[in-house]
């Protein structure tokens, strides 16, 4: 019989790598708590219309990449419904904000999520069909201050702090610019954008014949997407197209200037990228992306986000301006692994405090009782099995733990245990009463 495998573009995450995932998530949770965010967990599948209306029908995510199915009616009274595995989490969070009338509190809502998302993309390093995002949204009614440039700057400063605390260096000459970099732009308000799109369309009209086939199509269907083109021959033409900065109205220009001045005051470095328009239709004003050149190859975007002042209304809700981001957790992990490899610092090197080796079947019960006692004292412990030879016990113990505790007939009757520390090779006799303290020493 042929063996079954994980579906293309999905993968199993196994120990010890999962310890790194847990460390990343614990760091993110601790930072979210410090910045006043609470956790939201929305369903993994939603009504397809949520993404069609929220993300935009013309986007690649909605037009090509969604896992959508017709959910059969189970009873005559039920209607069949089109459902979709969530390709991103912002639309779900805003739906929940509307559904639970969170805006009625009048307070700013600061929500974070951690979970899998699904897109039918062509799998490659750093791009999967099931991938994890760590994201957050700040939204609320206008009087809560949700529209303030301070909120944009706070979110960006929090992200810089997160990457710093995870140990990803900032890009500098010293690291050959492989560290993280923040790219920033403003795509203007919902009135600025149509004016810009028209200007872009007119500018593209005489030029598009010289661009790649994809851009020729985009010039007609979604001209903003031309700015995302990576084809080398197209770059010069695209760099000379009109820039959105020249189409921002006074309010958007002022908002963007405020975001930058708060970032300058907080010491968060950024690079203005006039071509950063991002793939989802709901963005207004501030858009951003953090990249890292460590371990990611062409998929170098670690995270992305922006402001979405009209999204709640697009979903039938009240006015609720907001800003959010999503970090590609898979890519964060790849970056941390690459950094550890290049610096020679081992990841996942945490060993257990002790391995208990009973010398015969007769000591199995005493070994498990001792393990229970040490675990209750907060130590991490693995237990061998009495039928193992001493050599096999030592081999196992050496890969798993910092110390081995030998438990033979004598040790059980005298209560004096033999402990060997692998790093030093030192072997000592330790009374049972002192064992937990001795094993806790580094």
Give the footprint of ligand AMP on this chain (CB under 6 A). 88, 119, 121, 126-128, 131, 133, 279, 301-304, 326, 328, 330-331
**Rounded CA separation 246/228 (Å):** 19
Assigned token pair, 390: 């001493």
How many angstroms separate the CA atoms of 167 and 347, rounded?
Answer: 12
CA–CA separation, 58 vs 55, rounded Å? 9
Q: How far is the CB of 294 from ligand AMP (least distance, A)?
A: 14
Cβ closest to ligand AMP, residue 127 vs residue 403: 127
Which one, 245 or 301, has the nearer CB to ligand AMP? 301
CB 45 → ligand AMP: shortest distance, Å?
A: 17
The least distance separating ligand AMP from the CB of residue 296, rounded to whole angstroms, comes to 9
Q: CB of residue 129 vs ligand AMP: minimum separation in angstroms?
A: 7
Compare residues 183 and 422 and give the one whose CB is closer to ligand AMP.
Answer: 183
Residues facing 426 on adjacent strands: none
If the CB atoms of residues 144 and 292 are measured against ligand AMP, the closer one turns out to be 292
CB neighbours of residue 33 within 10 Å = 12
Least CB distance to ligand AMP at residue 57 (A):
16
Helices (H) and strands (E) in the chain, counts: 15, 16
In this complex, which beta carbon is closest to ligand AMP, that of residue 52 or of residue 405?
Answer: 52
**Closer CB to ligand AMP, 37 or 282, in the complex:** 282
Residue 274 · residue 219 · CB < 8 Å: no
Query: Cβ closer to ligand AMP: 224 or 383?
Result: 224
Asked if 223 contacts 193 with a C-beta cutoff of 8 angstroms, the reply is no
Q: How far is the CB of 388 from ligand AMP (least distance, A)?
A: 43
Rounded CA gap, 59 and 153, in Å? 27
- What's the rounded Cα separation, in Å, for the pair 94 and 257? 27
Q: Sign (positive/negative) of CA torsion 358, 359, 363, 365? A: positive
Residue number with the smallest Cβ distance to ligand AMP: 328
Kindly report the number of other CB atoms within 10 A of residue 405's CB atom: 28
Shortest distance (Å) from residue 280 CB to ligand AMP: 6
Taking residue 416's Cβ as centre, other Cβ atoms within 10 Å add up to 13
3-state secondary structure of 353: coil
89 or 363, CB closer to ligand AMP?
Answer: 89
Q: Tokens in use for 325?
A: 């981001």
The residues, ordered by sequence, that sit 6+ positions from 86 with a Cβ below 8 Å of its Cβ are: 42, 43, 44, 45, 46, 51, 92, 117, 118
Shortest Å, Cβ 284 to ligand AMP: 15
């Amino acid at each position: 019989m042929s063996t079954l495998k994980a579906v293309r573009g999905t993968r199993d995450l196994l120990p010890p790598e999962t310890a790194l995932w847990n460390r990343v998530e614990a760091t993110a949770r601790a930072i979210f708590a410090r910045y006043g965010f609470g956790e939201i967990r929305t369903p993994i599948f939603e009504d397809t219309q949520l993404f069609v209306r929220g993300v935009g029908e013309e986007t690649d995510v909605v037009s090509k990449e969604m896992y959508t199915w017709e959910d059969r009616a189970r009873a005559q009274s039920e209607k069949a419904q089109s459902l979709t595995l969530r390709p991103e989490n912002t639309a779900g969070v805003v739906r929940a904000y509307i559904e639970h009338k969170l805006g009625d509190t009048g307070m700013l809502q600061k929500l974070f999520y951690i979970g899998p998302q699904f897109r039918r993309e062509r799998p490659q390093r750093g791009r999967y069909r099931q991938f994890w995002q760590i994201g957050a949204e700040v939204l609320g009614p206008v009087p809560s201050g949700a529209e303030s440039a301070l909120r944009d700057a706070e979110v960006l400063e929090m992200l810089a702090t997160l990457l710093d605390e995870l140990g990803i260096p900032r890009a500098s000459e010293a690291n050959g610019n492989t560290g993280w970099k923040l790219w920033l732009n403003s795509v203007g308000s919902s009135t600025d954008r149509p004016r810009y799109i028209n200007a872009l369309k007119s500018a593209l009209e005489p030029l598009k014949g010289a661009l790649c086939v994809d851009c020729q199509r985009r010039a007609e269907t979604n001209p903003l997407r031309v700015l995302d083109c990576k084809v080398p021959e197209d770059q010069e033409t695209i760099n000379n197209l009109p820039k959105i900065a020249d189409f921002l109205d006074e309010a958007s220009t002022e908002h963007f200037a405020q975001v930058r001045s708060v970032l300058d005051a907080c010491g968060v470095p950024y690079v203005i990228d006039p071509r950063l328009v991002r793939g989802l239709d709901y963005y207004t004003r501030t858009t951003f992306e953090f990249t890292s050149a460590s371990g990611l190859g062409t998929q170098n975007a670690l995270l992305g986000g922006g402001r979405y002042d009209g999204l709640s209304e697009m979903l039938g809700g009240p006015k609720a301006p907001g800003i959010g981001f999503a970090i590609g957790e898979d890519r964060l992990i790849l970056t941390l692994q690459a950094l550890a490899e290049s610096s020679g610092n081992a990841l996942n090197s945490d060993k257990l405090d002790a391995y208990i080796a009973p010398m015969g079947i007769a000591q199995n019960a005493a070994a498990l009782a001792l393990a229970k006692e040490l675990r209750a004292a907060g130590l991490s412990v693995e237990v061998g099995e009495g039928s193992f030879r001493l050599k096999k016990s030592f081999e196992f113990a050496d890969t798993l733990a910092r110390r081995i505790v030998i438990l033979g007939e004598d040790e059980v009757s005298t209560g004096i245990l033999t402990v060997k520390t692998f790093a030093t090779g030192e072997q000592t006799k330790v009374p049972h009463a002192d064992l937990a303290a001795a094993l806790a020493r580094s």
